[in-house]
Structure 1
Amino acid sequence: MPLPILVSQYNRVNAPSNAQYGFHWEICIQSGFDKDRCPLGYVYHIVGSTASYGYQKMEGVRYTTSENWRGSFEVGRIKEQDLPAIERNLSQVQILKDDPNWNCQNWVIAALRKLTAQGFINAHYSMEALQHQMNILNEQWEQGDI
């Protein structure tokens, strides 16, 4: 069964949600559900600050249960057997340091482009288009719809 690949966003504690970079983005691959029927999966993102960004992979994460979660947007589905190759590709996405105009959202866009170029997904999203989708999710969260 194909696994959903999603972009999830989280409100940053120290940034207003309407700021240009107010949301933390990460890539999630849903592998199933936990005993409470919450989505469970793998999370891939960058952590740290502009000078110290680093790639992080986490397994078995209930990525929708954080109080800062503001929605997840499905960008495709992958074959489970492709997971090791996808993880290799994600770990090789370039991370820019010491650039105040670059952050986790840029990393997610670069990661999606890499996965699309490798044929794993068909997710041709510009930064603006994905930000628009994520803003819709935030509005739905604010209205209590998700």
Structure 2
Amino acid sequence: MSSYPLFIVTYDRGERWDDSTKKKPFHWAFFLKAGSTAGEGLAFQLRGMPGAFYYSGEERVNINSSGSKNGELEIGAIPVSKYDRFKQLLAAAPINNVESSNWNCQDWSLSVLDWLRQEGFIEEQYQNNVIKYWLREDK
């Protein structure tokens, strides 16, 4: 059965406006390797900012063309036959738009991971605490 390798990709967002000695949390995005060129595929990510987050669906990208890419972690695979189900799960994930909640794209991604794991798309060794460790910002 043919499938798309599934990754979480992190991006550096620069320094905090209120303290330039501290970095902003990394941006997390899901990425399916769905192209023939290195880094080419489909991204699925939360956009916006606290209080105004939104999800717009799949985006054709090359993850290697961003100068702010931090890293990537392959966490599973999406069978081509279940691609529509994968998209449904991401589109159905709740978005918290309470500006003062400190909720962000990492929280959204972690909740989506729980759903993807239930569907069998995420390899068992990649529990949320493991993924958070591998994608931590202090390395």
TM superposition score category, shorter chain reference: 0.7 to 0.9
Unmatched tracts of structure 1, length 5 or more: 140-146
Q: Which residue of the partner structure matches residue 78 of structure 2? A: 78
Is the deviation greater in 96-105 or in 86-95? 96-105
Map 1:1-146 onto structure 2 (within 5 A): 1-15=2-16, 19=23, 22-34=25-37, 38-98=38-98, 99-123=100-124, 124-126=126-128, 128-135=129-136, 139=139
The TM-score normalised by the length of structure 1 is: 0.79
1:17 Cα deviation (Å)? 9.5
Q: Can you list the C-alpha shifts for 1:88-109, whole angstroms capped at 9, x where unaligned? A: 1110011111143210001111
TM-score, with normalisation over the residues of structure 2?
0.83
Q: What residue ranges of structure 2 are gaps of 5+ in the alignment?
A: none
With over 3 angstroms needed to count, the CA separation of the structure-2 counterparts of 1:78 and 1:58, relative to structure 1, is: closer
The SS at the match of 2:43 is strand
Q: What count of residue pairs does the alignment treat as equivalent?
A: 133
The whole-number CA distance in structure 2 between the counterparts of 1:5 and 1:78 is: 7
Task: Say what the alpha-carbon RMSD is for the aligned residues.
Answer: 2.3
Any conservation in 2 of the 1:54–1:95 contact (CA below 8 Å)? yes
- Indicate if the aligned counterparts of 2:8 and 2:31 stay in contact, CA closer than 8 A: yes
Partner of 1:143: none
Offset of residue 55 of structure 1: 0.6
